[in-house]
Chains A and B, each alone.
Chain A
Amino acid sequence: MTGKPSMLYRLTGGRLGRAPTPPESSPGCPGGCGCAGQQGSNSQPVTSRRNFLAMVGVGTAGLAATLAGIPIIGALFSTPARSERVWHVVGSIDDFEVEDTVKVEFIDDDPVPWAGPAARNAAYLRRLGEEEFTAFSIYCTHVGCPVAWRAGASLFICPCHGGVFDREGDVVAGPPETPLLRLDTRVRDGQVEVLAAPVPVTGRRNA
């Protein structure tokens, strides 16, 4: 009795499915002499089947890792989208004296409700003329510590490594190599507004 190969076997070219069972005894192959050859040809599909199943296993695990990984890695590296920078009102124009540099504060745009102190931001604002203002980022251009405005000395001084900037934000002493970042300002309806900017990390600053 000779078993027929299964349809799966034929469709997969012998990789999968039931192989044809050899005749139990063949007249031309007495004893077992010819069976060695028969077994040889028979073990080929079995090995391929094993290989294929191994591939199925590895492939499925790989697919699972990819499928699970996409949302996990994606979410891990997601940063909140901040498509538009927002103007912040920091005070009425009359609050500021010409030639004075003062600290102004504002709340970050659209903070999560639990942001607390993390949402609060500051900038330095200097009034130059009637409607002319300059705003400076508070972050030292060395490694990002907060520079302190010392009115008496008319200098911004960084407490971390002794960086010093003049009232125009230019470096006058210490390790920093680039001036303080300037923020955009505008006056609307007698209110001074500052355009919030990201923490000026170097990559962005040079861009």
Chain B
Amino acid sequence: MNRLRRPVEFVKDRLGWEAMIKPIDHYAPPETTEGKSQWAYIFGFGILFSFLLQVATGIVLATNYVPSPDSAYQSIQYITDEVRFGNTIRAMHWIGASAMVILVLIHACRVFLTASYKYPREFNWISGVVLLYLTFGMALTGQLLRWDQHGVWTVVVAANFAGRVPFVGEHIAEFIMAGETVSGETLTQFYALHVFILPIAIVLLIGLHLFLVTYHGISELPRAGKPVDPETYKQEYQEYVEKHKRPYWPKGIWNELFFGGLVVIVIVSLAFLIGPRELAPPPDLTDLSAQPQPDWFIIWYYALISVKPHGYEEFFLVYLPIGFFLFLLILPLIANRGERHPSKRPFAIIGLSVVVGLFIMLTVVGLRAPWVPDYETEPLQAAELGTEEPRLLEGAMVFHERGCQYCHQIHGEGGEWGPDLTDVSSRMGSEQIAVRIVQGIGNMPAYQDILTTEEVDLLVEFLNEVDELEPD
């Protein structure tokens, strides 16, 4: 029979192939499918591919992970050490998460730069913003599922942030911890969020996002002096793509597939090369020397809330994040018409540059984290100071033992929060130094009740002389 002689046709017909590819079988603006400018339109596919990879590696992890507080850590060790390719799968999931965060941010910046969120693509942007925050939510909950020393503290910190939200904060915090404290129920709560609730929301929104992209068509490159006018935009867009007749499927999609594939190849290669994130020590909420480390994409915010001016706590911890989120969400509703070209939107571009600049600067500052006291610092010894003078050595001991050295450096040894005190004698007299120690100033605590008079004297003498001493 005819249909058996042409099995391809048979399958196509019965599957409704024509209808299936119809959403992408249309004309696209030529600059999005060819030439240099087509490379501005690849990031969405990179995100999609890395998300699919996350789903696949996530399934593998979930088949071996035990979401119970007393076994989760061991099960990750098991995945790392025993499961075939387990180490690589963990690495792929971790690096894939980072890749997704990076790509989502780049994608958002690109769409903002070309103002593609304007009419009629308002909901493309809004669904994308929600996806951006869901991606961050996944990253945060995933960090916790590692259930190591950093992971458990992530819960407490996350609950604390949530607790500051006006009116409902406490309820969100209790939902996050599944109770008033970190307890036996906490981990399963995060597990359900990471494995079911957030991914389902992401899949649904990706569906909506992709539907909208095909429904409204890919946005053309902005041209200066050609503002978006909702009255005429749709018709002009239609005429524009009809005129050039560049089909999106299958030739217009090649570079997106290429980039998506490249992203996956890079993730897998890096996974083989650098392996998964090292597990911190097992979780112990009674180990108070723990130093919770957030993953890299949170570090900028950690830095921001460390270096923020004193006061304004609610502003930086509550209203700034909520305000920024709401701003992104309603952006296309308050600015859905007008110029799209960056050269005609100076304030938008300045704003974006400031945000990107701050993100990079704060990440760099956060990686150095100078505000973290240096507990590991070693006391300065006679050999390093080049002196045998007992009172000076005693001063050096006090300087170390009483915690001055956690925050102050001398001859390159010590923390970085306070000023380097090697040459303090050139800036302040003995009396001033003593007053500063006893009374404190700004972030320098007052040591009045902590140090004895003798200790203050020793410190002042030591600080007065230390610049003259030559370390070997």
Contact = CB atoms under 8 A, between A and B. Distances in A.
Nearest to B372: A159
B413 interface: no
B286 A103 contact: yes
B159 interface: yes
B305 A79 contact: no
B50 interface: no
B406 interface: yes
B417 interface: yes
A105 B288 CA distance: 11
Given A111-B183, A142-B313, A173-B444, 10 more contacts: A80-B178, A116-B68, A119-B69, A149-B288, A152-B403, A173-B442, A175-B313, A199-B181, A201-B159, A203-B165
Q: Is the interface of A mostly helix, strand, loop or mixed?
A: loop
A162 B373 contact: yes
A133 interface: no
9 contacts: A79-B180, A80-B183, A114-B184, A144-B160, A159-B373, A160-B157, A160-B292, A160-B302, A201-B160
A139 B156 contact: yes
B299 to A, nearest CB: 11
Contacts of B305: 142-143, 161, 175
A143 B160 contact: yes
B69 A116 contact: yes
A146 B291 CA distance: 8
Nearest to B164: A202
B153 A117 contact: no
B69 A114 contact: yes
A125 interface: no
Q: Which of A108, A149, A201 has the most CB of B within 10 A?
A: A201
A112 interface: yes
Interface in A77-131: 77, 79-80, 82, 103, 105, 108, 111-122
B173 interface: yes
Contacts of A164: 443, 445
Interface string B151-174: 011001101111111000110011
Interface stretch (B225-233, B248-256, B277-285, B463-471): B277-285
A160 B161 CA distance: 14
A147 interface: yes
Instruction: List the 5 shortest-distance A-B pairs measured between CB atoms, nearest first.
Output: A116-B70, A201-B163, A153-B403, A162-B371, A115-B184
Interface in A149-189: 149-150, 152-155, 157, 159-162, 164, 166-167, 172-175, 177
Contact of B186 (A118, A122, A148): A118
Nearest to A157: B373
B450 interface: yes
Interface string B288-310: 11111000000000100110101
A32 B316 CA distance: 79
A138 interface: yes
B286 A122 contact: yes
Nearest to A116: B70
A161 B310 CA distance: 13
Given A117-B285, A173-B445, A203-B170, A108 B162 contact: no
Contacts of A173: 440, 442-445
A115 B188 CA distance: 11
Contact of A119 (B153, B162, B183): B183
Contacts of B286: 103, 105, 120-122
B310 A175 contact: yes
A72 B79 CA distance: 32
B182 A166 contact: no
Given A138-B288, A146-B153, A162-B372, A118 B183 contact: yes
Given A79-B179, A154-B450, A203 B163 contact: yes
A164 B160 CA distance: 18
Given A114-B71, A152-B402, A154-B450, A201 B288 contact: no
Contact of B401 (A116, A139, A152): A152
A146 B406 CA distance: 17
Given A114-B184, A162-B443, A201 B371 contact: no
B187 A118 contact: yes
A147 B288 contact: yes
